[in-house]
Amino acid sequence: MCNSFKDVLLPDLRLSLTISPRWGARCGVLVRTFAATVGGYGIAALWGALLSAGLSRFEGVATSGAVLTGMLSSFAICVCVVMWVFAARDLKRMALGLLIPAVLLGVALWLLRATA
C-alpha cells in the first residue's frame, strides 16, 4: 500500500537520476575530446596568426614566408594542446590551461595589429 497520495503521483526518481561510473568517465572523455578539438584549433590559429604577423613586421620576412612558418608551427602547437588536454588532472586545470594561453595570445595579437 502507498503511504500517501503523493507517492502515487510522484514516484521516487532518485534511482533513475544516478549516473554510473562508466558514464561519468565517458562524459569526461567526450568533454576532453571536444576541448582538444576546439581549443587546439583556436590556440593553434592564434599562434599562427601572431607568429606570421610578428615575423613580417619585426623580422622583415616576406608575407608568404611568414604565413608558411606560422602555419607549419601551428600544427606542433595543436598537438601540444591536445596532449595537454588529456594529460591534465582534472577539468578545471584543463580549462585554465586552455583559457590562459588563448587570452594571452589573443591580447598579444590584438596589440600587434592595433599598433600597426
The grid coordinates listed for 47 are: 599562434
What's the predicted TM-score (pTM) here? 0.78
pLDDT of residue 6: 53
Extents of the domains making up the chain: 22-114
Mean pLDDT of 30-35: 95
Which residue type occupies 80?
C
pLDDT tens readout for residues 80-101: 999 999 999 999 999 999 999 9
pLDDT tens readout for residues 38-62: 999 999 999 999 999 999 999 989 9
Mean pLDDT of 62-69: 95
User: How many beta carbons lie within 10 A of that of residue 54, not counting itself?
Assistant: 16
Q: Which residue has the higher pLDDT, 114 or 25?
A: 114
